[in-house]
Amino acid sequence: MDCIFDKIIAGEIPSDKVYEDGEVIAIKDINPSALVHILIIPKKHIESVNHMDEADSALIGKLIYTASNIAKKKGLSSKGYRLVFNIGEDAGMVVNHIHLHLLGGQKLGAMV
């Protein structure tokens, strides 16, 4: 499988790691769209939210929980931040492996 996130998780491609445990990894986005832009990624390869099973619900919930902990550590909790899942081409999903974007550290523009 040619998945860049699987290679990052395996350590075959270097990344700027913010957090890691047995189930998830969080890395800085290499092409940030905000002062803080972190990707929270499950180690299990799931192509997108469209490809989730009910059994994946807790894992995907953990992405959100992990994001909230990172936001706390970065001092974003009180000022606010944004969490985004992109799904598919129209949303601009680039890597076909579920990932949650954590955006913050600045005033964020309104979304379409």
Binding site for Zn ion (CB under 5 A): 3, 5-6, 45, 97
* Closer CB to Zn ion, 38 or 76, in the complex: 38
* Closer CB to Zn ion, 71 or 100, in the complex: 100
Q: Minimum distance between the CB of residue 83 and Zn ion, rounded to whole angstroms?
A: 20
List of residues 6+ apart from 60 with CB closer than 8 A: 42, 49, 52, 98
Instruction: Report the C-alpha gap between 77 and 67 in whole angstroms.
Output: 10
* Closer CB to Zn ion, 45 or 74, in the complex: 45
Instruction: Report the C-alpha gap between 68 and 47 in whole angstroms.
Output: 23
Instruction: Out of 37, 51, 97, 99, pick the active-site residue.
Output: 99
97 is catalytic: no
Of 53, 68, 33, 36, whose CA–CA distance to 98 is shortest?
53
**Which residues are known catalytic residues?**
99
